[in-house]
Amino acid sequence: MKGFLLALSFLGGPLLAQEGGGAALDSLQRGMQEALSDSARAGWGNAIGKTLFRSRPDEALGYWERALAMIDARGDAPIASTDRLRGELLNNIAAAEERLGNRSQALLRYREAIAVRSRSGDRQGLGQSLMNLAVFQRKQGDTDGALQGNLRALGIARQVGDIELEASCLMNIALLYQYLELEEEATRYYQQAEPLAKRLNDPGLMSRLLNGRGGLYQRTGRYDEALRCFMEALRIRRSANDRSGMATTFSNIADIQARKDATVDAIAYLDSCIQLREGLGDRSGLVSAYARRAGIGLSSHRYGESLQWAKKAASLASTVGSLNDRITATRILSEALAANGEHQQALAAWRDHMAARDSFDRNERAEDLLREDFRISFERLRVADSVQLEQERSLAQVRIEEAEARSLWQWVALALFAALVVALLVLLRATSRNERRSEALLLNILPTSVAQELKRTGRSRAVRFDDVTVLFADIVGFTALSERMSPEDLVHLVDDCFGQFDQVMDECGMEKIKTIGDAYMAVSGLPGQRSDHALIGSRAAVRMLAITAALRDRGIELHIRVGMHSGPVVAGIVGRRKFQYDVWGDTVNTASRLQECSEPDRINISNATREQIGQRAMFEDRGELSVKGKAPMRMYYLLGLAHSDDAGKGVYEQPVG
């Protein structure tokens, strides 16, 4: 258990920008080897993957996939107790797949991460995954989807108070407006992000802000100001040893130097970018770097060198690049081929470019824009003293137009076929979605092991559990409360309170059984038996009192009584329609009576439960008290739970009264 807690200290936020290797990695690997359970090993594997991600994304992916397999193999584990780790692993796997250029897998894993984090109530993680997917969508050319995703993530960041996530979303939105050439809107979002980045004093955020500002200056032709921003960003990223960020900034500086006709400097910076990206295994980032290197070769009349880089860009873009990357790579390849006199191949590359552009932009102006792009691209390659080359280019234009005319009906047929495929995929997705919803509903009603048995055999047998702890909680003065509040407000209050209780049960590893009006019932020690069930139930009860105390701090006068008893029960499914998982036995009745004998905001337990907890808590002996329908019972108030602080001293977590 200790190993699992140490590993979990790495969870809960965005991917760490650590470099793999060294004593830290060795320590994490030893921790994983010494872990006693799959859950602990999965936590260590997640931490190792984070350490490796920046420098060795393929190895990080392997650790994360193995960790996810360990979590998924735990069929007896409560869903919510592992969903936070599962959600983070899916998010990390998606980032690795994206870095390695596996676009379809990255998209699938991001969506799975969003679904899991939404289900588990991990709002901070949900915001992170929504933002990551939005960044991915922007790279694929889905500007609207990227904007909506970032806005959703921004709203969550502000709700949960995650300043880092808020600043990142603001900068992403600014970058989108910058891409759309809406400088005023981009500037407004950068201005909102700047004080947050400064407050956090985070090198990554500050360098991103400088790169964004530099991009705005570059777009408006203020190259010296842009260069100053990029140089400062490079200084920050060097000091933080952020090699991925350094690669991005080198590329930005190379663009400025190329625009200032400082070709030698531009090549030097871009070669540094390429060297870093190749070392990091960032194949997606290499596509744009190779294409930019080819562009510098064209503008400096180094046509042979340009063609080599253009071929590398196009080859990589065909397998790992985004749609934007494919558009850029095929265009630069067509230009480089034409500059080297290989006009037939240039035509083929241009057709690929047009097909990519058509997928990217299907509005009514697409054809004119494509033709204008074609004209501008080839005019840059015009050699003044080569009339023959100019004639061949004119002929190439005619051949492209003829090829477009011949392929018109082919595009129509392809569109009809695509429509049929899309319809089929929609039908299959709807079927799959309905199956997932049905399974999620079943798991929301029944424990995992019981649901699996019901799906496998069509029925579920009743099972005796010799030792569990039953918890009852009841709202004090519920009738009077209902008279003071409207029905809508009352339902909202109970839903808020019991919803927080549900989260406590999931996190503590207890099984919620049911609510009966204003009463709440849960059990520790089933369906997966455990020896510390009384201690787990006590921890949950302490947290329940803390929740109601927090509500009172908000001006909502809500008090509860809690009762707990340990002993045997029988558990199973009740009914044939609208079935419910329930427990029976004298232990259940006794726990209910103990709740009735408790004072408000106290936890009343039996002697059987106190003996199970032992020296791990403080108690107040209430003596023997009368119990309705039973002989007098000895009762205790739970005063506090013992745990160890960092110095190893015993301290107590006390209920909030």
Closest CA to 93 of 73, 63, 70, 119: 63
- Alpha-carbon distances, residue 210 vs 166, 198, 228, 272, 479 (angstroms): 17, 12, 9, 20, 60
Task: Look at 335-344, 485-494, 623-632 and tell me which has the smallest mean pLDDT.
Answer: 485-494
Q: What is the pLDDT of residue 372?
A: 40
Instruction: Report the first-to-last Cα separation within the chain, whole angstroms.
Output: 30
Is the pLDDT at 279 greater than 60? The verdict is yes
Note the Cα 496 to chain centre separation in Å: 25
* 521 confidence band (pLDDT: 50, 70, 90): very high
Q: CA-to-CA distance for 367 and 141, rounded, in angstroms?
A: 18
pLDDT digits (tens, 9 = 90+) for 478-514: 877 777 877 777 878 888 888 889 888 888 888 888 8
Q: What is the pLDDT of residue 593?
A: 92
Is the pLDDT at 264 greater than 80? The verdict is yes
Task: Look at 90-94, 533-537, 647-651 and tell me which has the smallest mean pLDDT.
Answer: 647-651
Q: What is the pLDDT of residue 402?
A: 54
Could you tell me the two tokens for 141? 């050319």
Could you tell me the two tokens for 624? 């023997």
Q: What is the pLDDT of residue 373?
A: 41
Average confidence (pLDDT) over 357-366: 49
Could you tell me the two tokens for 158? 């502000």
Q: 357 Cβ partners below 8 Å, 6+ apart?
A: 327, 366, 369, 370, 373
Could you tell me the two tokens for 170? 């603001």
Q: What is the pLDDT of residue 563?
A: 95
Q: CA-to-CA distance for 621 and 527, rounded, in angstroms?
A: 31
* 449 confidence band (pLDDT: 50, 70, 90): low
Domains of the chain (ranges plus CATH)? 449-653 (3.30.70.1230)
Q: What is the pLDDT of residue 130?
A: 92
pLDDT digits (tens, 9 = 90+) for 7-31: 332 333 344 334 445 666 677 777 7
pLDDT digits (tens, 9 = 90+) for 152-181: 999 999 898 999 999 999 988 888 888 777
* 463 confidence band (pLDDT: 50, 70, 90): confident
- Alpha-carbon distances, residue 430 vs 105, 108, 426, 481 (angstroms): 20, 16, 6, 44
Q: What is the pLDDT of residue 13?
A: 36
- Does the pTM surpass 0.85? The reply is no
Is the pLDDT at 227 greater than 60? The verdict is yes
Alpha helices for 323-365 (secondary structure H): 323-339, 343-360
Task: Tell which wins on pLDDT, 216 or 375.
Answer: 216
- Alpha-carbon distances, residue 219 vs 259, 372, 379 (angstroms): 11, 20, 22
Is the pLDDT at 378 greater than 70? The verdict is no
Q: What is the pLDDT of residue 8?
A: 31
Closest CA to 519 of 572, 471, 580: 471
Q: What is the SS3 assignment for 184?
A: helix
Task: Look at 130-134, 184-188, 381-385 and tell me which has the smallest mean pLDDT.
Answer: 381-385
pLDDT digits (tens, 9 = 90+) for 395-407: 545 544 554 555 4
Q: CA-to-CA distance for 279 and 288, rounded, in angstroms?
A: 16
Q: What is the pLDDT of residue 472?
A: 94
Whose tokens are 């070769």? That residue is 297
Q: 430 Cβ partners below 8 Å, 6+ apart?
A: none
